[in-house]
Structure 1
C-alpha cells in the first residue's frame, strides 16, 4: 500500500498477493462476518454487493438489523461470482480453492488478516479504507476505537495492578466447557477492561476444554458467558448450584454474567463493545455515570 497515492489506480498487497484497483470498488463482497461488519461501517449500502448469511443472525452478528436491506449469498465460488463483485475480501480461513476460482474469473482478491485483539484490527480497518476509497471514514472509525478504549483504560486499574479482578470467559456446547485462554479475543477483552484473564495467568493458551475442577483452581472473581439462549442460562445455573464451586468468589457473590456473544467473538471493531460491557461488569461504580453506545454504520455524513 502506498499511502502517498491518494488517486487511482491503487496497488494493494495483502497475504493473498498484490492487486490493482482501477477505482473505488462498487460491488464489494467479503467472505467473513468480521469483514462484513467493517465494510458496513466504511462504505455506503449501494456499494455492497451482498452479505453472508451469518451477518443477519443476531446470535452471531453485531449488525444483524442492517442485513435485511442487502441480498444474502451462500458460501462457494459459484455463489460469489453470481454477485458480480469487483473486489472479494477474504479471511485467513477462506479455502484456497475458492480463492483460486474467483481469481481465475478475474476478480481482485484481498486477504486483510483479522487478528484476535481489541486494537489489532485498527490496521486492517485502515487498509480496508484505502482499498475501498474510504480513507477519511476509516480514520474517523479508528480514532473512535482508540478514544473508546482510552476512556475505559482511564477508569480501570492499570496492567499489573494487584487490585485487578480474576476473570474467565467460558461457553458450553455438547456438555463440554471451553475457556478463552491467552492469545484470544476474549482474553484481550478481559485485560483491556481492567481484569486478569485467570486462564492465561494459569498457562492456558487459545481455546481449551476444561473441567469444573479447573474453574475451582482458577478461583475467578467474575465469570463471563458469551453465549445466548437456554444453553447460557443453563450453564450459569449449573455453575451457581455446583457444590464443587461453592467457595469460588464469582459463585459466592453472584458474579456470573451472560454477555452478548457478537461483542466477544467477532473479529471486528465491535470487540470494543465487549471491552466496555466487561468494564461495566467489573467496575460498576466507576462507570455508573457512563452510557456506552453502539457503533454507527456508514451514513455518508
Structure 2
C-alpha cells in the first residue's frame, strides 16, 4: 500500500512555497502590462483589438465561462452557455443563454442582441459562426486549441488581458500551478499506477488533457502507453490485457460497465474506481487542477498489483512451492484502426462540454 495521503495534505497546506517559477514569471510580467487598447491575434488569424476594459462580456462555451468566473469577472458577463454542464458556476442561470436548444451550437441572434464589448469563443466554436458574428459588428476572439497544462495557464493569462483582469489572472495561475505542483510532489517517488480513463466505451490516449491529468497526478495512462492517440474506442480485449490498477471516470458518466472484462481488472477487484467531476475533466480551464488534485489523492493511497504480488510471494515462500507461470500471449493492443466516423463520434462526446 502506498499511503501518501498525509503528504498530499501537507503539501496542499504549504503550496505557497511550491510555485511554478517559469509560468508565474510570465504571468507577473503580463500583470504589470495590462492596459488598453489591447490587440491580440486569435486562432482565425484575425488581429482583435479591444479599445477599453470590457463591461459587457459574452462567453460562448463552458471553458471560457469557467475561466471568466475564476477571474471573478462574472458580474460583467451578459451572455453565457446556460446548460447542465455549466450549472456549477454560481449565478450563470441568471445570464442570457447564448446556446440553441441543442445546448451546444451558438444562438447567433441572441449574441448579437446582447451587443457585448467582447465575445470569447473557445476553439470548438466553428469559424463560420465567428465570421457571422463579426459580420454583425461583434468583437469576437477565438482561442486556439491545446492539450497541455501550460496551454490552460496561457489561455487564462490571455483572457485576463482581453477583459482587463490581468492581476486576477496572475493570481489564478499561481493557485493553479500550486495545486498541480503539490499533487506532483505528493505522488513523486512511487511507482505509477496503471490508469485507464473510461467513458461510454471510449478512452483517452496521448495528446489529450486527460493524459496530462493522469501524468500530473502520478499515474501512467495505459491507453497512451499502448499507442492510442487522441480519443478512441476501447474493447474488452484491451481492458483485460491492459489490466488497469485504477479506472478514472466522470461523475456524470455511465461509470464502469458490469462486464466480465472490467470485473476481472485489478482496479475493479480492489475497488479502485476514481470518480471526478466531469466538468473539471473535460473543460480546459483552471479547474482541471482540482481534478489533478483529486486523482493524486486517490493514487497516493492506491494498492498496486506489485504490492499484491509481493505479499503473495511472501506467503508462498512460507507455505508452498510457486507454480511456473504460462507464457504470456503476444502483444496485442485490443484496438482496431479507427475510422473517421468513430473519431468524429469520439470528438462529439467531449466537444459538448468544452
Note whether the superposition's TM-score is higher than 0.5. yes
Please state which structure has a larger fraction of its residues in helix: 2
Q: 2:301 — aligned with what?
A: 284
Match of 2:281 in 1: 264
Choose which of 123, 134, 143 in structure 2 pairs with 1:112. Answer: 143
1:195 matched to 2:211? The reply is no
Secondary structure of the structure 2 residue equivalent to 1:79: helix
Residues 96-116 of structure 1 deviation map (CA, whole Å, 9 limit, x = unaligned)? 222112112222211122522
* Alignment correspondent of 1:249: 266
Rg: which structure is higher? 2
Instruction: Select between 92-101 and 130-139 the one with higher mean Cα deviation.
Output: 92-101
Correspondence for 1:9:
37
Q: Which residue of 2 aligns with 1:45?
A: 74
Which residues of 2 match residues 197-276 of structure 1 at below 5 A?
Answer: 197-228=221-252, 231-232=254-255, 235-236=256-257, 238-239=258-259, 242=260, 244-245=261-262, 247-276=264-293
Q: Is the 8 A contact 1:15 1:112 kept in 2?
A: yes
**One of 56, 63, 68 as aligned partner of 2:88:** 63
**Equivalent residue for 1:296?**
none
1:114/1:268 contact within 8 Å kept: no
Task: Tell me, in whole angstroms, the C-alpha distance in 1 between the residues paired with 2:280 and 2:87.
Answer: 7
Relative to 1, partners in 2 of residues 1:6 and 1:145: Cα closer, same or farther, differing over 3 Å?
closer
Once the two structures are superposed, what CA deviation does each residue of 1:7-36 show, in whole Å capped at 9, x if it has no partner? 322222222311221110111112111001
Aligned residues: 266
1:53 Cα offset (Å): 2.1
Deviation at 1:245, TM superposition (A): 4.5
User: Equivalent residues in 2 for 1:127-166 (5 A)?
Assistant: 127-157=158-188, 163-166=191-194
CA contact (8 A) 1:179 1:199 kept: yes
CA distance in 2, matches of 1:35, 1:46: 15
What's the TM-score once normalised by structure 1's chain length? Answer: 0.82
Aligned ranges 1:63-82 → 2 under 5 Å: 63-74=88-99, 75-82=106-113
The verdict on how the C-alpha distance between 1:121 and 1:88 changes in structure 2, with shifts beyond 3 A counting, is: same
Preserved CA contact (<8 Å) 1:33 1:52: yes
Give the superposition deviation at 1:246.
5.1
Structure 1 gap segments, 5+ residues each: 286-301
Asked whether the 8 Å contact 1:112–1:127 carries over to 2, the reply is no
Q: TM-score, normalised by structure 2?
A: 0.70
Gaps of 5+ in 2: 1-28, 100-105, 303-354
Distance change (3 Å), C-alpha of 1:113 and 1:212: same
Are the aligned partners of 2:202 and 2:234 in contact in 1 as well (CA < 8 Å)?
yes
Partner Cα separation in structure 2 for residue 150 and residue 67 of structure 1: 30
Q: CA deviation at 1:5?
A: 5.2
Question: CA-to-partner distance for each residue in 1:137-192, whole Å, 9 max, x for gaps?
Answer: 0000001111111111111125xx6x1110010011xxxx1111111111111111
For 1:199 and 1:69, locate their aligned partners in 2 and report how far apart those are by CA, in whole Å: 41
Q: Partners of 2:278 and 2:219 in 1: how far apart?
A: 19
Between the two structures, name the one with larger relative contact order (CA 8 Å, sep ≥ 6).
Answer: 2
Deviation at 1:61, TM superposition (A): 3.3
- Per the TM alignment, residue 94 of structure 1 is displaced from its structure 2 partner at its CA by 1.3
Match for residue 123 of structure 1?
154
